[in-house]
Amino acid sequence: MSKTAIASLTPETSKDAIHTGLKAAYRKEIANDLSSILAATYRLTIKSHVYHWNVVGPVFKSIHDLTEEHYNALFEATDIIAERIRALGHLAPVRFAMTETFAPAKGDDVDQGSAHDMVNDLIAEHEQAVRDMRKAAAKAGDNDDMVTEDMLTARLTFHEKALWMLRAVVAQ
């Protein structure tokens, strides 16, 4: 393949000036925030999937079904988040090194634990996602970026409902 053909396939940020009313510096900053949110969403997708496979005990069925619902919704959200980064004129993470942040931080993050431990771990991950998204949504609102703010509001709605359901599973 020629160098020109290869170069044409290499992802890059938009060279065109973007005149949508959002400042370039803001778009870069929110794209970085969204890239972190994307990585966290992938981590949560993976954890939810691993726990889906490995949960045991009397609440197996409810956690198994709930985590399946969650990892499917989370995986769908990754595309929405990545496409927003692209619409802002920046690249979604494209290098393998960037994707290292997608996996749980260390192997013991998803070790076989009790169903209660698994759910509590998912609760902690969803709570962190809510905090990060709330902060990014506020920044988007402050910069008149209604599209990003609206997308994050929808994601927050999912995570807060997930938290309610996960807490209900482990309530005593």
User: Which of 48-52, 116-120, 145-149 reaches the highest mean pLDDT?
Assistant: 145-149
Q: Is residue 15 part of a domain?
A: no
- Nearest to 30, CA basis, from 106, 116, 144, 130: 144
Look at 4-18, 51-65, 77-91 and tell me which has the smallest mean pLDDT: 4-18
Q: How far is CA 122 from CA 16, 21, 80, 140, 163, in A?
A: 41, 38, 21, 26, 8
Q: Is residue 85 part of a domain?
A: yes
Domain hosting 102: range is 20-170
- The residue to which tokens 């972190």 are assigned: 36
Q: Is residue 26 part of a domain?
A: yes
Q: Is residue 1 part of a domain?
A: no
Q: Is residue 10 part of a domain?
A: no
Q: Is residue 7 part of a domain?
A: no
Look at 2-6, 29-33, 103-107, 141-145 and tell me which has the smallest mean pLDDT: 103-107
pLDDT of residue 105: 56
| Beta-carbon contacts of residue 74 (< 8 Å; ≥ 6 apart) | 41, 42, 44, 45, 48
Q: Is residue 3 part of a domain?
A: no
pTM: 0.84
Total tally of structural domains belonging to the chain: 1
| Beta-carbon contacts of residue 129 (< 8 Å; ≥ 6 apart) | 37, 40, 41, 44, 155, 159
pLDDT of residue 161: 98
Q: Is residue 13 part of a domain?
A: no
Give 104's pLDDT tier (boundaries 50, 70, 90): low
**76 pLDDT more than 60:** yes
Q: Residue 133 maps to which CATH number?
A: 1.20.1260.10
